[in-house]
Amino acid sequence: MVALVNPASGSSDVLVIGGGLQGLSSAFQLAKAGLRVRLIEAEYCGRHASGVNAGGVRTLGRHVAEIPLALAAREQLWHRLADIIGSDGGFVPSGQLQVAENEADEIKAKARVAMLNGLGFFHEQWVDQQQVRELVPSISPHVVGGIWADRDGYALPYKVATAYRLAAEKLGVQIVEQAPVLQVDHQAGMWQASTAQGAFHAPWLVNTAGAWAADFAAQVGDPVPMVAGGLMLMVTQRVAPFVKPVLGAMGRPLSFKQFDNGTVLIGGGLRCEADASQRHAMVDLNRMPKSAQTVIDLFPHLRDVSIARAWTGIEGFMPDEIPVISPSASADNLVHAFGFSAHGFELSPMTGCIVAELVTKGTSSLPISAFRVDRFAAA
Amino acid sequence: MSNPAIPLNDAPSQLRDLVVIGAGPAGMAAALAAQRRGLDVLLLDEQPQVGGQIYRSITQTDAQRERILGADYVYGKSLADQVRASGLTHWAGASVWQIDPDKTVHVLRNDRTTRIETKSLVIATGAMERPFPVPGWTLPGVMTAGAGQILLKNAAVVPQVPVVLAGCGPLLYLLAAQYLRAGVEIRAVLDTSAGTDWRLAIRHASSLLAGWGYVRKGLGLLREIKSAGIPFFKDVGGLRIEGEDAVRQVRFTSAGHSQQIDCELVLLHQGVVPNTQVSWSLRAEHHWDDEQLCWLPVLDSWGQTSLPGIYIAGDGAGIGGALVAEMQGALAGIGVANSLGFGTSEDGAQQRAQIAQHLRIRPFLNQQYRPKDEFRIPADEVVVCRCEEVTAGAIREQVQLGCVGPNQTKSFSRCGMGPCQGRQCGLTVTEIIAKEANLPPQEVGYYRIRPPLKSLSLAQLAAGV
Amino acid sequence: MASKALFKYLPGHQAGAAGTVSVLVNGAVVRMSPASSLAAGLLAAGITAVRVSPVGQGARAPYCMMGVCFECMVDVNGRPNQQACLITPEDGMEVTTMQAAPSVLDAQEAKHV
């Protein structure tokens, strides 16, 4: 079945660049399909976007092209994670609610739901003011309604990444850390990834290098206009439980949830400076007053709660805010999956399946044409 | 939809030449030295008065406390007087919550956030007590010796019940002597130092002689303690503090014999270490010092860090004591003045020579009062992260699972994620991982420190600049 | 929740002397000096444990007295998680020791340890 790799022999079927969740789930699914996989990670697995995000398991509010992937990820994977990788990753199906704070938000929300229904999607439901108060009794009375996705929720990013990692290793995936890939080359039917720790070879290459993936894409002839940026989050000190669902807001950026331990996580599109070459992003709390104000507007009683810490990681952002998930347009035996623009967490278990399908069968059973790597090329 | 009750923040102030963070001896000296050379200086501290911890409340003390605390404490008045007389701008009650790479300092003061732009920074945030993780150290009734001293200095408050002093180092003996003068009943002194190794002492003979002033002072303190007939236990190990909701007793061994003492108040101390929270948050270079068993910022001969224009002076640069702190502060102030072109051509040689002289005793003290391994790298059951109640054993487990650094263990266990953001556990966790993974502490590294460095509420942030 | 006081003032400094302020601690008046920290005033008044750890529910008390340990957190004038060792007592200040993670839904309802 699975040929266990002898590290000394260095023989693999697939090289996966990047030990974030996209890479880890890809490595796992490829190994499950019987391939010998080596994953190469620049720092340690889950160090950046995958380890520091808000953990939203969210189908709500997505670009239409992502919805089939998101729904499949939620139903086939997130709700069954323990069966698949031996851990539920801390997944709590708390539901996600995107609140409408005024009439303009309400109109927008209802239009969206109608549009989705028209496309055959019913996972987002309009809920009115009364229903919102039932879902979140402590929310400010000015909220007029919202969009509700009851099977969404949240999980713990680092726990999920680690669980995927352990599951992958159990299937024989070899993981090399502290090994930034400097260069990828394709010669005589073999891909070569060069690192300071040596060069690795395999017939197939998977580019899941997150904020650094565009460099590799360019090297292989698939340039994309991706930008590496920092994304900030903050967490408060513990407060007594007051909200169950994960919250967003229609009219302004917000990602907001309370963990079992009482701490409240606050985020929402908070960009900050990042130096991708130094692999470091800088927290600047001064960019967060609007998020803090949003939270206070929705929950006035939180005004005096202290922020314990803010943090950030580096993510890759695409101009159309949807990822690249596709075979290379110019080279053989290469699959890309990157550029998740700060909302790849929920998709990542399914990304791995799609990548494995592309490698083993050459096609994907989910629609991915919107995610082609060459969609930016001049027509 | 802003709340009109939140006050608008001060407009960003003008560009300063120098901001000094910390108004202890190093900070006061740096600010004075720079101001005297014509710089525009702002001195910040979160306390209501100058003095830092070593000279805490020096501007509000009285004859009774001065007699108890001693001449070294009273000396601090002269610095405080100079600051007042100088007309230096001093912001009391100012807590720094973020410092940007361009040195902009973000401060919370009177419930308002303000941004201060400056050309240079002196960080003089001093030292803190070395963590002392033993079973029961989180119980009410356990505090640090430094806390005892602060209560005395700041509030004229002393123990009302018999107190057990446990640990090692000059500050512990100093406190014991001060408590004796104040009429406090000391139930026992539990000395955890390994005992005088005279061969090592001889190796440090020249530093002993050079630092004889310090040594004589120390011997004098010990004499005071011993002649008062206080039970003095040597070579203490296996220290456990026990009780349900409060301290009831301590158990320990002394020179191999088991002991138990009923008590309600235990003050712990095994040295002080640089408070590196700010310097790590700036990502200044640090190196692990095996002699001082802590992280030291890498500094040039003026005290400048690896980040141009950012200096560290005082115990935050390495433990040297109050007089060294003052001299380092002056040196940094001069260095800043030089670097900004304020016409001084001082080379700082005299200050450096004085500092070196005063530091000669340190190797001996570091050796003599080296905290035992068991009190730095404790047994599995001992809580190392007080805030999140993570044990040493939990950290070791994570190392076994492949974590090789404190940031990974943090992700797994919440260790270091609580309110104190790693201040009380950082050193311990680095050393536990180093030992368990068989790596040098330098390679293991330290927590990634992020803002806010001090508590900031959502409302305070929302009204932010 | 006053237990036996572990600390006392030096002679001539007792609470109630001229220059003290009245602070409400869990509803009871405690005299303190405005020249020293709230944490010191609490300790001298016999209030040692000031909160309960939200993790293990054990009682916690001030440990370092200099703002590093974050053990001395109390609710001051309705604001939770204030470090008492960095706060100057003021007349009429309302201090509540913290039973558990602070409830944001009813700041008045904070329980006494």
C102 contacts on A by Cβ (under 8 Å):
238-240, 305
Would you call C64 and B388 a contact, using CB atoms and an 8 Å cutoff? no
Which of B412, B419, B450 comes nearest A310 by C-beta? Answer: B450
> b vs e for A309-324, b when ≥16 Cβ sit within 10 Å of the residue's Cβ?
bbbbbbbbbbeeebbb
Q: Map out the domains of chain A as residue ranges.
A: 14-54+158-224+320-371, 96-150+227-317
Taking domain C1-96, whether its CATH number is 3.10.20.440 is answered by yes
B455 contacts on C by Cβ (under 8 Å):
81-83
pLDDT of residue B197: 63
Q: Name A254's Cβ contacts closer than 8 Å, sequence gap at least 6.
A: A247, A248, A266, A267, A268, A291, A294, A295, A298
CA distance C39 to chain B (A): 9
Chosen for mutation from A296, A299, A302, A311 (greatest number of chain B CBs closer than 10 Å) is: A296
> b vs e for B235-256, b when ≥16 Cβ sit within 10 Å of the residue's Cβ?
bbeebebebebbbebbebebee
pLDDT of residue B343: 72
- Is the pLDDT at C100 greater than 60? The verdict is no
Which of B48, B143, B158 comes nearest C88 by C-beta? Answer: B48
Residue-averaged pLDDT of chain B: 92
Interface of A with C in 119-138 (CB under 8 A): 138
> Can you tell me the distance from the alpha carbon of B291 to that of B298, in angstroms, rounded to the nearest whole number?
15
- When comparing pLDDT for B367 and A57, which is higher? A57
In this prediction, residues A238-263 reach a mean pLDDT of: 91
pLDDT of residue A379: 52
Q: CB contact, 8 Å: C8 with chain A?
A: no
Q: pLDDT band for position A10 (50/70/90)?
A: low
pLDDT of residue B9: 45
Q: Which residue of A has its CA nearest to C75?
A: A304
Q: Which residue of C has its CA nearest to A300?
A: C104
Q: pLDDT band for position C101 (50/70/90)?
A: low
Residue A105 burial (10 A CB sphere; 0-12, 13-18, 19+): buried
> Can you tell me the distance from the alpha carbon of A344 to that of A342, in angstroms, rounded to the nearest whole number?
6
Q: CB contact, 8 Å: B161 with chain C?
A: yes
Q: pLDDT band for position A83 (50/70/90)?
A: very high
Q: Map out the domains of chain C as residue ranges.
A: 1-96
Q: Which residue of A has its CA nearest to C76?
A: A304
CA distance A305 to chain C (A): 7
Least confident range of A93-102, B331-340, C100-109: C100-109
C38 contacts on B by Cβ (under 8 Å):
none
Q: CB contact, 8 Å: A278 with chain C?
A: no
CA distance B109 to chain C (A): 12
The backbone torsions φ and ψ at residue A223, rounded to the nearest 5 degrees and listed phi first, read: -65, 140
In this prediction, residues A1-10 reach a mean pLDDT of: 40
pLDDT of residue B45: 97
Contact (Cβ atoms closer than 8 angstroms) between residue B102 and residue B397: no
pLDDT of residue B256: 87
Q: pLDDT band for position C99 (50/70/90)?
A: low
- When comparing pLDDT for A313 and A357, which is higher? A357
Q: Which residue of A has its CA nearest to B459?
A: A303
Q: Which of A29, B149, B243 is nearest to C59 (CA)?
A: B243
In this prediction, residues B83-95 reach a mean pLDDT of: 96
Enumerate neighbours of B (3 or more CB pairs within 8 A): A, C
Residue A257 CA, chain-centre distance (Å), reads 17
pLDDT of residue A319: 97
Would you call B423 and C55 a contact, using CB atoms and an 8 Å cutoff? no
Which of A261, A292, A312 comes nearest B462 by C-beta? Answer: A292
Would you call C104 and A301 a contact, using CB atoms and an 8 Å cutoff? yes
Tell me the C-alpha to C-alpha distance, in Å, between residue A76 and each of A29, A84, A94, A346, B11: 14, 10, 17, 12, 54
Q: Which residue of B has its CA nearest to C44?
A: B157
Would you call B419 and C55 a contact, using CB atoms and an 8 Å cutoff? no
Would you call A240 and C79 a contact, using CB atoms and an 8 Å cutoff? no
Enumerate neighbours of C (3 or more CB pairs within 8 A): A, B
Residue B258 CA, chain-centre distance (Å), reads 32
The backbone torsions φ and ψ at residue B314, rounded to the nearest 5 degrees and listed phi first, read: 95, -165
Would you call B140 and C60 a contact, using CB atoms and an 8 Å cutoff? yes
CA distance B138 to chain A (A): 19
- Is the pLDDT at B447 greater than 90? The verdict is yes
- When comparing pLDDT for A289 and B264, which is higher? B264
Per-residue pLDDT reduced to its tens digit, A197-217: 889 999 999 999 999 999 999
Q: pLDDT band for position B225 (50/70/90)?
A: confident
Per-residue pLDDT reduced to its tens digit, B135-163: 999 999 999 999 999 999 999 999 999 99
Tell me the C-alpha to C-alpha distance, in Å, between residue A294 and each of A88, A303, A342, B73, B458: 31, 10, 20, 49, 10
- Is the pLDDT at B131 greater than 60? The verdict is yes
B187 contacts on C by Cβ (under 8 Å):
none
Sequential DSSP letters for A96-119: EEEEE-SHHHHHHHHHHHHHHHHT
Enumerate neighbours of A (3 or more CB pairs within 8 A): B, C
Per-residue pLDDT reduced to its tens digit, C29-85: 999 999 999 999 999 999 999 999 988 999 999 999 999 999 999 999 999 889 999
- Is the pLDDT at B195 greater than 70? The verdict is no
Q: Which residue of C has its CA nearest to A263?
A: C101
pLDDT of residue C18: 66
Per-residue pLDDT reduced to its tens digit, B404-434: 899 988 888 889 999 999 999 999 999 999 9
Q: pLDDT band for position B223 (50/70/90)?
A: confident
> Can you tell me the distance from the alpha carbon of B126 to that of B312, in angstroms, rounded to the nearest whole number?
9
- Is the pLDDT at A229 greater than 90? The verdict is yes
Looking at residue A289, its amino acid is P
Sequential DSSP letters for A12-72: -SEEEE--SHHHHHHHHHHHHTT--EEEE-SSSTT-SHHHHS--EE--TT--GGGHHHHHH
Structure tokens at B52: 């830092």
Give the domains, in start order, of chain B with CATH numbers. 16-128+273-345 (3.50.50.60), 131-270 (3.50.50.60), 377-442 (1.10.10.1100)
In the DSSP assignment, the letter for residue A379 is -
Would you call A285 and B464 a contact, using CB atoms and an 8 Å cutoff? yes
Per-residue pLDDT reduced to its tens digit, B250-282: 999 998 899 999 999 999 999 999 999 999 999
Per-residue pLDDT reduced to its tens digit, C30-40: 999 999 999 99
Cis peptide before B378 (omega within 30 of 0): no
Looking at residue A161, its amino acid is A
Q: CB contact, 8 Å: B439 with chain A?
A: no
pLDDT of residue B198: 63
Which of B275, B389, B420 comes nearest C55 by C-beta? Answer: B389
Would you call B457 and A296 a contact, using CB atoms and an 8 Å cutoff? no
Which of C12, C48, C55 comes nearest B388 by C-beta? Answer: C55
A235 contacts on B by Cβ (under 8 Å):
417
Question: What's the pTM value of the predicted model, to 2 decimals?
Answer: 0.91
Interface of B with C in 169-188 (CB under 8 A): 182
Of chain B, the percentage scoring pLDDT greater than 70 comes to 93
> Can you tell me the distance from the alpha carbon of B204 to that of B193, in angstroms, rounded to the nearest whole number?
17
Structure tokens at C75: 């609710």
Least confident range of A298-312, B6-20, B307-321, B395-409: B6-20
Q: CB contact, 8 Å: B135 with chain A?
A: no
Q: CB contact, 8 Å: B465 with chain A?
A: yes
Structure tokens at A302: 């939180």
> Can you tell me the distance from the alpha carbon of A64 to that of A117, in angstroms, rounded to the nearest whole number?
11
Sequential DSSP letters for A141-168: TT--EEEEETT-EE--HHHHHHHHHHHH
Chosen for mutation from B61, B132, B138 (greatest number of chain C CBs closer than 10 Å) is: B138
Q: Which residue of A has its CA nearest to B420?
A: A308
pLDDT of residue A243: 93
A282 contacts on B by Cβ (under 8 Å):
100-101
The backbone torsions φ and ψ at residue C85, rounded to the nearest 5 degrees and listed phi first, read: -75, -10
Q: Which of A14, A379, A359 is nearest to A193 (CA)?
A: A14
In this prediction, residues A354-363 reach a mean pLDDT of: 97
C55 contacts on A by Cβ (under 8 Å):
261
> b vs e for B186-215, b when ≥16 Cβ sit within 10 Å of the residue's Cβ?
bbbbbbbbbeeeeeeeeebeebbebbeebb
Region A96-150+227-317: CATH code: 3.30.9.10
- Is the pLDDT at A5 greater than 60? The verdict is no
A306 contacts on C by Cβ (under 8 Å):
80-81
Would you call B461 and A307 a contact, using CB atoms and an 8 Å cutoff? yes
Would you call C13 and B182 a contact, using CB atoms and an 8 Å cutoff? no
- Is the pLDDT at B1 greater than 70? The verdict is no
Residue-averaged pLDDT of chain A: 93
Which of C78, C79, C102 comes nearest A239 by C-beta? Answer: C102
In this prediction, residues A65-79 reach a mean pLDDT of: 98
Q: pLDDT band for position A190 (50/70/90)?
A: very high
**Helix, coil or strand: residue B18:** strand
Q: Which of A70, A155, A152 is nearest to A370 (CA)?
A: A70
Per-residue pLDDT reduced to its tens digit, B342-366: 977 899 999 999 999 999 989 888 9
C40 contacts on B by Cβ (under 8 Å):
150-151, 154-155, 157
Q: CB contact, 8 Å: B412 with chain A?
A: yes
pLDDT of residue A6: 39
CATH of A14-54+158-224+320-371, one of 3.50.50.60, 3.90.180.10, 3.90.550.10, 3.90.420.10: 3.50.50.60
C107 contacts on A by Cβ (under 8 Å):
301
